[in-house]
Amino acid sequence: MEFKEIIIKDFLSYYGDNSIEFSDMTTIIIGQNNTGKSKLFDAINFAIYGRIFHTGKGVNGEWIYDIKEISDFILNNRKKIEALEGNEQTVDSGVQLNIELDTSYLNIDRKVIYKNENGSFKYDRYEVSVSEIDKLDGHIISSDSHKDDANSKIEQYFSRSIKDYFLFQGEAASKIMQLSKGGNFSKAVREIARLSVFEDAKEIADGYSKHVNNILVRKINKNKELAEKQAKLQKELDAIEEDIKKYTEKRNSAQSNIDAYKEELNLLEPKLSQMKEFEEWFKRKNELESNIQKIKKDLKNANSEKTEIAEDAVFYKISDKINSFKNFYHDLENKGEVPPSIPRAEIVKALDYCRCTICDTDLSEGSPAREIVKRRLPKCDTDKLGNYLRDLNIIFGNMIDDNQKVPQKLEDILDRKRRLEERKKSLLEEKEEIASQLESVKLSEEHSEEKKKEIEELRKSINHYRNLLERAKTEFDRNDALIEEKSKMLQNLRTQQVLEIGNSSNTDITDFERFWSSYAPKVAEAMEKLYKRAHDTAYNKVEEKADEYYRKMTQDNAGLIGKIKIDTQNSEIYTIDENGDRILNINQGNRISIQLAVIAGILTIAQEEFGQQYPFVTDAPVSALGGDNKLNTIQTMIDAFEQSIIVIKDDSISKNKTNDEIRNLIQNSSYVGMAYELSMSDAQTKNNQHTVIKRIKG
List of residues contacting another protein (CB under 8 A): 102-103, 155-156, 193-194, 197, 200-201, 204-205, 207-208, 211, 511-512, 514-516, 518-520, 522-523, 526-527, 529-530, 533-534, 537, 608-612
d(CA 41, CA 152): 22
Q: Smallest gap, in angstroms, from Cβ of residue 93 to another protein?
A: 30
Closest to another protein by CB, 225 vs 608, is 608
* Dist CA 44 CA 126 (whole Å): 17
| Nearest distance in Å: CB 192, another protein | 11
| Nearest of 13, 21, 8, 24 to residue 641 by alpha carbon | 24
Smallest separation, CB 193 to another protein (Å): 8
Q: Which CB, 212 or 678, lies closer to another protein?
A: 212
Sheet holding 691-697, edge to edge: 167-169, 616-619, 644-649, 26-31, 672-680, 691-697
Residue closer to another protein by CB (options 106, 420) is 106
CB of 216 to another protein, least distance (A): 13
Secondary structure tally for the chain: helices H, strands E: 17, 16
Looking at the Cβ atoms of 480 and 528, the one nearer to another protein is: 528
Task: Kindly report each contact of residues 196-201 with a partner whose C-beta sits within 8 Å and lies 24 or more positions away, as own/partner.
Answer: 198/527, 198/530, 198/531, 198/534, 198/535, 199/531, 201/527, 201/530, 201/531
Q: How far is the CB of 9 from another protein (least distance, A)?
A: 30
Which residue lies nearer to another protein by CB, 360 or 511? 511
CB of 524 to another protein, least distance (A): 10
Reference 163, options 44, 82, 254; nearest CA is: 44
β-strand pairing of 691-697 with 62-64: unpaired
Closer residue to another protein (CB): 136 or 584: 136
Min separation Cβ 526 and another protein, Å: 5
As measured in angstroms, the least distance from the Cβ of 525 to another protein is: 9
CA 494 to each of CA 239, 324, 479, 501: distance values in angstroms, whole numbers, following the listed order: 13, 109, 22, 10
Residue number, 311 or 608, with CB nearest to another protein = 608
**Closest distance between another protein and the C-beta of residue 51, in Å?**
21
Nearest approach in angstroms of CB 2 to another protein is 15
Q: Which is nearer to another protein, 205 or 631 (CB)?
A: 205
Give yes or no for a contact between 486 and 251, defined as CB atoms under 8 angstroms apart.
Answer: no
Question: What's the CA gap between 203 and 515, in Å, rounded?
Answer: 21
Helix (H, G, I), strand (E, B) or coil at 10: strand
Nearer to another protein, 401 or 511 (CB): 511
* C-beta contacts of 368-373 below 8 A and 24+ residues apart: 373/347
Q: How far is it, in rounded angstroms, from Cα 150 to Cα 101? A: 17
Alpha-carbon distance of 666 to 133, in angstroms, equals 33
Residues 6 or more apart whose CB falls under 8 angstroms from that of 606 comprise 192, 193, 612, 613, 614
Question: Which of residues 85 and 102 has its CB atom nearest to another protein in the complex?
Answer: 102
As measured in angstroms, the least distance from the Cβ of 201 to another protein is 5
Instruction: Find, among 663, 652, 594, the residue nearest to 624 by Cα.
Output: 594
Burial classification of residue 566, based on how many CB atoms lie within 10 Å of its CB (0-12 exposed, 13-18 middle, 19 or more buried):
buried
Nearest residue (CB) to another protein, 65 versus 519? 519
